[in-house]
């Protein structure tokens, strides 16, 4: 079995130690970091995402797989930068105030980083002004917000309304996600895109699907 196939398998099993070892081996064999990422780690995560969607695996597996992915990604990060994957955009990312669900947000962050975006991760329970302050400080043009609770969804609108107040609305793209959201909701609050999972978040960022 090739190294990338082994990576895909071990990542699915959430075996962080093996994923780190295999990533190290692949690096030592001069496999390019982009290939290790795309054909190994991201391919493995995509399978995990599909299986999770079909209820073939459950949340603890997703968590372990994500952790294993980080173990490999940590080794690749410096090489990816050296390999000259251009930073194609900066994204401020966070889970909105009052909401502690951050697994999906973290997965989205991984995918975006892998695709060459710089991700400024604000964590969870992020107050509205923090999103905008961080965008201003970093020069990011995309703001990604996550909410998993119907009670915290309205905070996304608060962020967008605050951007309008601060005259930042025109210069920022707002990307929203989380299980209770929908394209209609994204449109209603003035967001530029809604993405339903981490696998398609990158495509979502590239081609904003919700028109203003
Ligand atoms: C794990 C979990 C928790 C964990 C969170 C741990 C953590 N570190 O995240 C804990 C135990 C802390 C928790 C707490 C609570 N939870 Co909870 N939780 C879940 C659960 C089981 C899984 C969520 C998850 O991680 N899914 C896996 C990830 C990968 O999927 P995802 O988050 O949807 O993310 C994907 C997409 O949505 C999208 N995406 C997500 N964010 C973003 C952002 C951007 C920018 C983009 C582009 C895309 C994107 O891409 C992601 C990757 O594919 C869900 C059930 C469910 N099926 O969703 C309930 C659920 C969300 N929780 C629920 C509830 C009610 C609660 C509590 C209120 C329970 C309580 N009574 O205390 C508290 C609230 C705490 C708080 N203030 O936030 C309800 C929400 C109901 C509702 N509609 O409001 C759910 C739906 C369970 C249920 N059926 O009742 N929870």
CA 48 to centroid of ligand 1, rounded, Å:
17
User: φ, ψ for residue 117 (rounded to 5)?
Assistant: -90, 145
| Residue 63 CB–ligand 1 contact under 6 Å | no
- Is 80 exceeded by the pLDDT of residue 210? no
Which own/partner contact pairs does 61-64 have at CB distance under 8 Å and 24+ positions apart?
61/12, 61/14, 62/103, 62/107, 63/14, 63/103, 64/13, 64/14, 64/16
CATH number for region 89-206: 3.40.50.280
Predicted pLDDT of residue 203 = 81
Give the angle 198-130-156 at the CA atoms, nearest 5°.
Answer: 55
Q: Is ligand 1 within 6 A of the CB of residue 95?
A: no
Q: Which two tokens stand for residue 138?
A: 């970093």
* pLDDT category of residue 87 using cuts at 50, 70 and 90: low
CA 88 – ligand 1 centroid, Å: 29
Res. 45: pLDDT tops 80: yes
Confidence of residue 200 (pLDDT cuts 50, 70, 90): confident
Residues 175, 189, 59: CA angle, nearest 5 degrees: 50
What tens digit of pLDDT does each residue of 1-32 get?
A: 999 999 999 999 999 999 999 999 999 999 99
Q: Is the pLDDT score of 54 beyond 80?
A: yes
In this structure, which residue's CA is closest to atom 63 in ligand 1?
A: 149
Span from the CA of 148 to the centroid of ligand 1 (angstroms): 5
- Check if 3-82 and 89-206 are the same fold: no
Q: Which atom of ligand 1 is nearest to the CA of 148?
A: 61
- Indicate the domain borders of the chain: 3-82, 89-206
Instruction: Flag the least confident range among 66-80, 115-129, 154-168.
Output: 66-80
What does the pLDDT read at residue 104? 84
Q: Flag whether the pTM goes above 0.85.
A: no
**Given a cut of 60, is residue 212 above it in pLDDT?**
no
CA dihedral 29, 50, 48, 6 (to 10 degrees): -30
Encode pLDDT of 163-195 as tens digits: 999 999 989 999 999 989 999 999 999 999 899
Q: What is the mean pLDDT of residues 88-98?
A: 92
What is the distance in A from the centroid of ligand 1 to the CA of 107? 13
Statement: residue 83 has pLDDT above 60: no
- Position 211 scores a pLDDT of 39
- CATH code matching the domain that covers 3-82, chosen among 2.40.30.10, 2.40.50.140, 3.40.50.970, 1.10.1240.10: 1.10.1240.10
Pairwise pLDDT comparison (197 vs 123), residue with the higher score:
123
Q: What is the pLDDT of residue 5?
A: 97
């Amino acid at each position: 079995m090739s190294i990338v196939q082994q990576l895909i398998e071990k990542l699915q099993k959430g075996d962080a130690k093996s994923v780190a070892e295999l990533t190290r081996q692949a690096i030592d064999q001069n496999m390019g970091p982009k290939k290790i990422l795309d054909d190994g780690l991201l391919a493995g995560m995509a399978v995990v995402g599909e299986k999770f969607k079909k209820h073939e695996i459950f949340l603890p597996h997703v968590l372990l797989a994500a952790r294993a992915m980080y173990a490999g990604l940590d080794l690749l990060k410096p090489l990816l930068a050296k390999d000259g994957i251009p930073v194609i955009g900066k994204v401020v990312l966070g889970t909105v105030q009052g909401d502690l669900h951050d697994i999906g947000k973290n997965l989205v962050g991984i995918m975006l980083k892998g695709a060459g975006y710089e991700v400024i991760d604000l964590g969870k329970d992020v107050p509205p002004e923090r999103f905008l302050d961080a965008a201003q400080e970093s020069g990011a043009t995309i703001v990604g917000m996550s909410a998993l609770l119907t009670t915290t969804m309205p905070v996304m609108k608060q962020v967008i309304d605050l951007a309008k107040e601060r005259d930042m609305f025109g210069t920022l793209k707002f990307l929203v996600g989380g299980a209770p959201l929908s394209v209609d909701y994204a449109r209603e609050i003035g967001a530029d895109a809604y993405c339903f999972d981490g696998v398609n978040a990158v495509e979502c960022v590239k081609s904003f699907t919700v028109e203003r």
